[in-house]
Amino acid sequence: MTPEQAAWFRDTFTRLVDNVDQALMGKREVVGLVLAAMLAEGHVLLEDAPGTGKTSLAKALAASVQGSSTRIQFTPDLLPSDVTGVTIYDQANHSFEFHRGPVFASIVLADEINRASPKTQSALLEVMEESRVTVDGTPHEVGRPFLVIATQNPIEQAGTYKLPEAQLDRFMIKTSIGYPSLAVAERILAGNVERNPSANLQAVITTRAVADMADLAASVHVDPAVARYAAQLVEATRESASTKLGVSVRGAISMMRIARVVAASQGRHYVIPDDVKALAAPVWTHRLVLDPEAEFAGTTPESIIERALGDVEAPLARASA
Protein backbone atom coordinates (compact mmCIF):
# COMPACT_ATOMS: atom_id res chain seq x y z
CA MET A 1 0.00 0.00 0.00
CA THR A 2 1.30 3.42 -0.96
CA PRO A 3 0.77 6.55 1.18
CA GLU A 4 -1.71 7.80 -1.46
CA GLN A 5 -3.72 4.60 -1.26
CA ALA A 6 -3.68 4.81 2.53
CA ALA A 7 -5.09 8.36 2.35
CA TRP A 8 -7.88 7.19 0.02
CA PHE A 9 -8.63 4.26 2.32
CA ARG A 10 -8.84 6.60 5.34
CA ASP A 11 -11.20 9.01 3.57
CA THR A 12 -13.48 6.20 2.32
CA PHE A 13 -13.51 4.52 5.73
CA THR A 14 -14.48 7.81 7.40
CA ARG A 15 -17.30 8.37 4.90
CA LEU A 16 -18.64 4.89 5.63
CA VAL A 17 -18.57 5.47 9.39
CA ASP A 18 -20.28 8.87 8.94
CA ASN A 19 -23.00 7.25 6.84
CA VAL A 20 -23.73 4.43 9.30
CA ASP A 21 -23.63 6.92 12.19
CA GLN A 22 -26.76 8.57 10.76
CA ALA A 23 -28.71 5.43 11.66
CA LEU A 24 -26.79 4.55 14.82
CA MET A 25 -26.04 7.91 16.42
CA GLY A 26 -23.23 8.31 18.92
CA LYS A 27 -21.59 4.92 18.33
CA ARG A 28 -18.77 5.82 15.93
CA GLU A 29 -16.20 3.71 17.80
CA VAL A 30 -18.32 0.56 17.61
CA VAL A 31 -19.24 1.24 13.98
CA GLY A 32 -15.57 1.68 13.10
CA LEU A 33 -14.66 -1.56 14.85
CA VAL A 34 -17.39 -3.57 13.08
CA LEU A 35 -16.51 -2.00 9.74
CA ALA A 36 -12.85 -2.87 10.30
CA ALA A 37 -13.84 -6.49 10.99
CA MET A 38 -15.82 -6.58 7.73
CA LEU A 39 -12.88 -5.21 5.73
CA ALA A 40 -10.60 -7.73 7.46
CA GLU A 41 -13.10 -10.40 6.31
CA GLY A 42 -13.87 -11.48 9.84
CA HIS A 43 -17.07 -11.77 11.89
CA VAL A 44 -18.51 -10.01 14.92
CA LEU A 45 -20.09 -11.24 18.15
CA LEU A 46 -22.26 -8.65 19.90
CA GLU A 47 -23.11 -9.37 23.51
CA ASP A 48 -25.70 -6.75 24.28
CA ALA A 49 -29.06 -6.00 25.82
CA PRO A 50 -32.17 -5.96 23.62
CA GLY A 51 -33.08 -2.78 21.77
CA THR A 52 -29.61 -1.27 21.39
CA GLY A 53 -29.59 -1.06 17.59
CA LYS A 54 -28.04 -4.33 16.44
CA THR A 55 -30.46 -4.75 13.52
CA SER A 56 -30.06 -1.08 12.59
CA LEU A 57 -26.29 -1.53 12.49
CA ALA A 58 -26.51 -4.49 10.11
CA LYS A 59 -29.00 -2.77 7.80
CA ALA A 60 -27.06 0.50 7.78
CA LEU A 61 -23.81 -1.28 6.90
CA ALA A 62 -25.49 -3.16 4.08
CA ALA A 63 -27.09 0.02 2.72
CA SER A 64 -23.75 1.86 2.84
CA VAL A 65 -22.03 -0.72 0.61
CA GLN A 66 -24.96 -1.50 -1.72
CA GLY A 67 -25.14 -4.95 -0.17
CA SER A 68 -27.93 -7.20 1.03
CA SER A 69 -28.78 -7.96 4.63
CA THR A 70 -30.75 -10.75 6.27
CA ARG A 71 -31.80 -11.48 9.81
CA ILE A 72 -32.04 -14.99 11.23
CA GLN A 73 -33.86 -15.34 14.52
CA PHE A 74 -32.20 -18.29 16.24
CA THR A 75 -34.68 -20.41 18.21
CA PRO A 76 -34.52 -23.94 19.67
CA ASP A 77 -36.52 -25.36 16.73
CA LEU A 78 -34.40 -23.74 14.01
CA LEU A 79 -32.85 -26.32 11.66
CA PRO A 80 -29.46 -26.11 9.89
CA SER A 81 -31.24 -26.09 6.52
CA ASP A 82 -33.19 -23.02 7.68
CA VAL A 83 -29.85 -21.22 7.75
CA THR A 84 -27.89 -22.61 4.81
CA GLY A 85 -30.64 -23.61 2.39
CA VAL A 86 -31.97 -26.91 1.10
CA THR A 87 -31.96 -29.01 -2.06
CA ILE A 88 -35.48 -29.68 -3.41
CA TYR A 89 -36.48 -32.05 -6.18
CA ASP A 90 -38.12 -30.22 -9.11
CA GLN A 91 -40.67 -32.61 -10.62
CA ALA A 92 -41.06 -30.48 -13.75
CA ASN A 93 -37.36 -30.60 -14.63
CA HIS A 94 -36.69 -33.98 -12.98
CA SER A 95 -33.68 -32.54 -11.20
CA PHE A 96 -32.62 -31.30 -7.77
CA GLU A 97 -32.47 -27.55 -7.29
CA PHE A 98 -30.69 -25.73 -4.46
CA HIS A 99 -32.73 -23.06 -2.70
CA ARG A 100 -30.46 -20.61 -0.92
CA GLY A 101 -30.98 -19.88 2.75
CA PRO A 102 -30.73 -16.49 4.49
CA VAL A 103 -26.98 -16.95 5.02
CA PHE A 104 -26.49 -15.89 1.39
CA ALA A 105 -26.26 -12.13 1.98
CA SER A 106 -23.59 -9.48 2.36
CA ILE A 107 -24.37 -9.00 6.04
CA VAL A 108 -26.13 -11.68 8.08
CA LEU A 109 -27.54 -10.83 11.51
CA ALA A 110 -27.70 -14.05 13.54
CA ASP A 111 -29.92 -12.83 16.36
CA GLU A 112 -29.66 -14.58 19.74
CA ILE A 113 -27.40 -17.24 18.30
CA ASN A 114 -27.08 -19.02 21.63
CA ARG A 115 -30.79 -19.90 21.67
CA ALA A 116 -30.41 -22.43 18.85
CA SER A 117 -29.18 -25.98 19.36
CA PRO A 118 -25.47 -26.76 18.88
CA LYS A 119 -26.33 -28.61 15.65
CA THR A 120 -27.89 -25.46 14.16
CA GLN A 121 -25.09 -23.25 15.46
CA SER A 122 -22.60 -25.51 13.68
CA ALA A 123 -24.30 -24.66 10.36
CA LEU A 124 -22.43 -21.36 10.51
CA LEU A 125 -18.97 -22.81 11.11
CA GLU A 126 -18.07 -23.62 7.51
CA VAL A 127 -19.46 -20.44 6.00
CA MET A 128 -17.75 -18.24 8.60
CA GLU A 129 -14.39 -19.88 7.96
CA GLU A 130 -14.48 -20.50 4.20
CA SER A 131 -17.26 -18.18 2.92
CA ARG A 132 -19.11 -21.09 1.36
CA VAL A 133 -21.87 -23.56 2.18
CA THR A 134 -21.72 -27.24 1.29
CA VAL A 135 -25.12 -28.91 0.82
CA ASP A 136 -25.38 -32.51 -0.41
CA GLY A 137 -21.69 -32.44 -1.29
CA THR A 138 -21.97 -29.35 -3.51
CA PRO A 139 -20.19 -26.13 -2.41
CA HIS A 140 -21.96 -22.79 -2.85
CA GLU A 141 -19.99 -19.54 -2.49
CA VAL A 142 -21.62 -16.69 -0.55
CA GLY A 143 -19.55 -13.97 -2.23
CA ARG A 144 -17.79 -10.86 -0.95
CA PRO A 145 -18.22 -9.00 1.27
CA PHE A 146 -19.60 -11.45 3.80
CA LEU A 147 -20.06 -10.53 7.44
CA VAL A 148 -21.86 -12.42 10.21
CA ILE A 149 -23.00 -10.27 13.13
CA ALA A 150 -24.12 -12.68 15.84
CA THR A 151 -25.81 -11.49 19.01
CA GLN A 152 -26.38 -13.03 22.38
CA ASN A 153 -28.16 -11.70 25.44
CA PRO A 154 -25.82 -11.42 28.45
CA ILE A 155 -28.69 -11.23 30.94
CA GLU A 156 -31.40 -13.75 30.09
CA GLN A 157 -29.71 -17.17 29.95
CA ALA A 158 -32.75 -19.43 30.36
CA GLY A 159 -33.11 -21.77 27.40
CA THR A 160 -29.74 -20.92 25.88
CA TYR A 161 -26.76 -23.01 24.80
CA LYS A 162 -23.27 -21.84 25.65
CA LEU A 163 -21.22 -21.18 22.54
CA PRO A 164 -18.33 -23.68 22.35
CA GLU A 165 -14.77 -22.38 22.30
CA ALA A 166 -14.24 -23.53 18.70
CA GLN A 167 -17.17 -21.40 17.57
CA LEU A 168 -16.17 -18.37 19.65
CA ASP A 169 -12.72 -18.55 18.09
CA ARG A 170 -14.23 -17.97 14.65
CA PHE A 171 -15.42 -14.50 15.60
CA MET A 172 -12.76 -11.91 14.87
CA ILE A 173 -14.00 -9.52 17.53
CA LYS A 174 -16.45 -9.41 20.41
CA THR A 175 -17.95 -6.08 21.39
CA SER A 176 -21.20 -4.38 22.39
CA ILE A 177 -23.13 -1.34 21.22
CA GLY A 178 -24.48 -0.28 24.57
CA TYR A 179 -27.11 2.31 25.35
CA PRO A 180 -26.75 5.84 23.95
CA SER A 181 -25.51 8.67 26.12
CA LEU A 182 -28.06 11.06 27.65
CA ALA A 183 -27.29 13.76 25.07
CA VAL A 184 -27.68 11.35 22.15
CA ALA A 185 -30.87 9.86 23.65
CA GLU A 186 -32.35 13.37 23.83
CA ARG A 187 -31.49 13.94 20.15
CA ILE A 188 -33.11 10.64 19.19
CA LEU A 189 -36.31 11.29 21.15
CA ALA A 190 -36.60 14.92 20.08
CA GLY A 191 -36.26 14.09 16.40
CA ASN A 192 -38.44 12.12 14.04
CA VAL A 193 -37.96 8.56 15.25
CA GLU A 194 -38.10 6.31 12.18
CA ARG A 195 -38.88 2.62 12.33
CA ASN A 196 -36.16 1.89 9.79
CA PRO A 197 -33.47 4.61 10.02
CA SER A 198 -31.28 2.89 7.41
CA ALA A 199 -33.96 3.00 4.70
CA ASN A 200 -32.98 6.51 3.58
CA LEU A 201 -29.23 5.98 3.64
CA GLN A 202 -27.37 6.45 0.38
CA ALA A 203 -24.67 3.97 -0.61
CA VAL A 204 -21.11 5.23 -0.21
CA ILE A 205 -19.37 2.48 -2.21
CA THR A 206 -20.26 -0.74 -3.99
CA THR A 207 -19.71 -4.27 -2.75
CA ARG A 208 -16.96 -4.63 -5.37
CA ALA A 209 -15.19 -1.64 -3.84
CA VAL A 210 -15.46 -3.25 -0.40
CA ALA A 211 -13.65 -6.33 -1.73
CA ASP A 212 -11.00 -4.04 -3.25
CA MET A 213 -10.56 -2.27 0.10
CA ALA A 214 -10.15 -5.63 1.82
CA ASP A 215 -7.46 -6.65 -0.67
CA LEU A 216 -5.74 -3.27 -0.28
CA ALA A 217 -5.74 -3.52 3.52
CA ALA A 218 -4.05 -6.92 3.28
CA SER A 219 -1.04 -5.18 1.73
CA VAL A 220 -0.41 -2.92 4.75
CA HIS A 221 3.14 -3.42 6.04
CA VAL A 222 3.70 -5.24 9.33
CA ASP A 223 7.22 -4.87 10.69
CA PRO A 224 8.76 -8.05 12.17
CA ALA A 225 9.09 -6.22 15.50
CA VAL A 226 5.33 -5.62 15.61
CA ALA A 227 4.57 -9.22 14.64
CA ARG A 228 6.96 -10.39 17.37
CA TYR A 229 5.20 -8.13 19.88
CA ALA A 230 1.81 -9.64 19.03
CA ALA A 231 3.25 -13.16 19.28
CA GLN A 232 4.71 -12.38 22.71
CA LEU A 233 1.35 -11.10 23.93
CA VAL A 234 -0.33 -14.28 22.70
CA GLU A 235 2.30 -16.39 24.46
CA ALA A 236 1.76 -14.43 27.67
CA THR A 237 -1.95 -15.35 27.69
CA ARG A 238 -1.06 -19.01 27.24
CA GLU A 239 1.52 -19.01 30.02
CA SER A 240 -0.73 -17.22 32.51
CA ALA A 241 -1.57 -19.30 35.57
CA SER A 242 -5.13 -17.98 35.38
CA THR A 243 -5.94 -19.48 31.97
CA LYS A 244 -6.68 -23.00 30.85
CA LEU A 245 -6.62 -21.89 27.22
CA GLY A 246 -4.87 -18.84 25.83
CA VAL A 247 -5.20 -17.04 22.51
CA SER A 248 -5.19 -19.42 19.55
CA VAL A 249 -3.17 -19.17 16.34
CA ARG A 250 -6.38 -18.07 14.61
CA GLY A 251 -6.67 -15.30 17.18
CA ALA A 252 -3.12 -14.11 16.47
CA ILE A 253 -3.78 -14.09 12.73
CA SER A 254 -7.05 -12.21 13.27
CA MET A 255 -5.12 -9.54 15.16
CA MET A 256 -2.76 -8.97 12.24
CA ARG A 257 -5.62 -8.85 9.74
CA ILE A 258 -7.71 -6.29 11.59
CA ALA A 259 -4.67 -4.27 12.70
CA ARG A 260 -3.84 -3.73 9.03
CA VAL A 261 -7.34 -2.37 8.41
CA VAL A 262 -7.20 -0.06 11.44
CA ALA A 263 -3.81 1.27 10.32
CA ALA A 264 -5.15 1.99 6.83
CA SER A 265 -8.29 3.61 8.30
CA GLN A 266 -5.97 6.12 10.00
CA GLY A 267 -4.10 6.86 6.79
CA ARG A 268 -1.05 4.71 7.53
CA HIS A 269 0.47 2.09 5.26
CA TYR A 270 2.09 0.33 8.23
CA VAL A 271 0.97 -1.16 11.57
CA ILE A 272 2.26 0.25 14.86
CA PRO A 273 2.26 -1.37 18.33
CA ASP A 274 -0.55 0.94 19.48
CA ASP A 275 -2.83 -0.71 16.91
CA VAL A 276 -2.26 -4.06 18.61
CA LYS A 277 -2.80 -2.55 22.06
CA ALA A 278 -6.08 -0.90 21.07
CA LEU A 279 -7.45 -4.12 19.52
CA ALA A 280 -6.23 -6.61 22.14
CA ALA A 281 -9.45 -6.62 24.19
CA PRO A 282 -12.05 -6.94 21.40
CA VAL A 283 -9.98 -9.47 19.44
CA TRP A 284 -8.74 -11.70 22.25
CA THR A 285 -10.87 -11.65 25.41
CA HIS A 286 -13.60 -13.99 24.10
CA ARG A 287 -10.97 -16.61 23.15
CA LEU A 288 -9.64 -17.10 26.68
CA VAL A 289 -10.78 -19.97 28.87
CA LEU A 290 -10.11 -19.18 32.53
CA ASP A 291 -9.04 -21.52 35.27
CA PRO A 292 -12.14 -22.11 37.48
CA GLU A 293 -10.33 -21.12 40.68
CA ALA A 294 -8.97 -17.93 39.14
CA GLU A 295 -12.40 -17.06 37.77
CA PHE A 296 -13.96 -17.65 41.17
CA ALA A 297 -11.35 -15.33 42.66
CA GLY A 298 -12.47 -12.52 40.36
CA THR A 299 -10.07 -12.83 37.43
CA THR A 300 -11.53 -11.72 34.10
CA PRO A 301 -10.31 -12.12 30.52
CA GLU A 302 -9.90 -8.34 30.38
CA SER A 303 -7.57 -8.38 33.37
CA ILE A 304 -5.42 -11.12 31.79
CA ILE A 305 -5.08 -9.11 28.56
CA GLU A 306 -4.29 -5.98 30.55
CA ARG A 307 -1.63 -7.85 32.53
CA ALA A 308 -0.06 -9.17 29.33
CA LEU A 309 0.06 -5.66 27.87
CA GLY A 310 1.80 -4.47 31.03
CA ASP A 311 4.31 -7.32 31.15
CA VAL A 312 5.36 -7.41 27.47
CA GLU A 313 7.44 -4.47 26.34
CA ALA A 314 6.31 -2.88 23.09
CA PRO A 315 8.88 -2.08 20.40
CA LEU A 316 9.86 1.58 20.40
CA ALA A 317 10.94 2.06 16.80
CA ARG A 318 8.27 3.16 14.32
CA ALA A 319 7.35 0.10 12.23
CA SER A 320 7.06 1.75 8.84
CA ALA A 321 7.87 0.29 5.46
pLDDT greater than 70 at residue 68: yes
3-class secondary-structure state, position 287: helix
Which pairs count as long-range contacts for 51-55, CB under 8 Å and 24+ apart, including other chains?
Answer: 52/176, 52/177, 52/178, 52/179, 53/23, 53/24, 53/27, 53/177, 54/109, 54/111, 54/149, 54/151, 54/177, 55/109, 55/111
The structural domains of the chain, with segments of one domain joined by +, span 23-206, 220-313
Residue range 69-120, pLDDT digits in tens: 899 998 888 888 899 988 888 888 878 888 898 999 999 999 888 888 888 8
pLDDT reported for residue 193? 59
Please tell me the distance from the alpha carbon of residue 134 to that of residue 86, in angstroms, as a whole number: 10
CATH architecture of 220-313: Orthogonal Bundle (1.10)
> Model pTM?
0.88
Top-level class of domain 23-206: alpha beta
Please tell me the distance from the alpha carbon of residue 13 to that of residue 270, in angstroms, as a whole number: 16
Of the candidates 140, 152, 63, the one whose C-alpha atom is nearest the C-alpha of residue 99 is: 140
| Higher pLDDT, residue 178 or 288 | 288
Examine residue 145 and say whether the peptide bond preceding it is cis (omega within 30 degrees of 0).
yes
Please, where are the H alpha helices in 22-117?
Answer: 28-39, 54-64, 80-84
